[in-house]
Amino acid sequence: GSLSAGTHAFNFVHDGRERFYEVHVPAIYEDQTATPLLLNLHPLVLGGPLHVIWTNESKHNVKAEEAGFLVLQPDGIGSPSSWNGGDRCCSPANTEGVDDVGFIDALVQHTMDQLCIDERRVYATGMSNGGYLAHRIACEFPDRIAAIAPVVGSLSRELVCADGRGVPVLQLSGGADSLASRQQSVDDWIDVNQCSDATTITSEVGGVTCETHDDCKDGAVVTH
């Protein structure tokens, strides 16, 4: 099947729980053309009634029109709207043991029935609690996600990552963020992806520095 250009809202039942999500189809999408898909995972709170704030702030639907990709933006559960990212992050989804990885996996499969998606180009980004879930999906299902770009979210240390392909990771952190030093997550991905210790400064613009490990298994790259 197919969907017309624009943003579509749906409900999807997983584990007996009704979940809300949106799909944004760019104007240049053509039926039967394999198109990349971006999972956009909201931070704690910005789902449910505040879903539209995250849509507007993250601007991925705008970028999708320029770059020609589909955006899948689901909602977490509870109040505040949350994802189970592991490592006590975040309630109520985490304390209730919600299978958000299974939900996202089922939702992507369901969306593939509606739209022509390039299965090799399914990406995930997310902020804060959404970043935790992006890390967790890549850790537990490395063969299903092309790359992740978490923003101030961590890879939970309690998780045991599956032995799969190397996953490219772009970790975005604020150097002045005392709550959230993300170097540990970068180090963990360097370990999971079997990267060498060698780093390259790949970009330096103003106060923003990109430090890259590019000698990793399967050609994966880890950048902080």
Share of the chain above pLDDT 70, in %: 98
Mean pLDDT of 182-189: 93
What tens digit of pLDDT does each residue of 41-88 get? 999 999 999 999 999 999 999 999 999 999 999 999 999 999 999 988
What tens digit of pLDDT does each residue of 187-196 get? 999 999 999 9
Residue 95 pLDDT greater than 60, yes or no: yes
Query: What does the DSSP 8-state code read for residue 196?
Result: -
Q: What pLDDT shows up at residue 185?
A: 94
CA-based angle 164:169:175, to the nearest 5? 145
Q: What pLDDT shows up at residue 176?
A: 82
Mean pLDDT of 208-222: 96
Question: Could you tell me the pLDDT band of residue 1, with boundaries at 50, 70 and 90?
Answer: low
Q: What pLDDT shows up at residue 180?
A: 60
Residue 131 backbone zone (phi > 0: left; psi -120 to 50: alpha; other: beta): alpha
What tens digit of pLDDT does each residue of 160-172 get? 999 999 999 999 9
Q: Select the more confidently predicted residue: 179 or 152.
A: 152
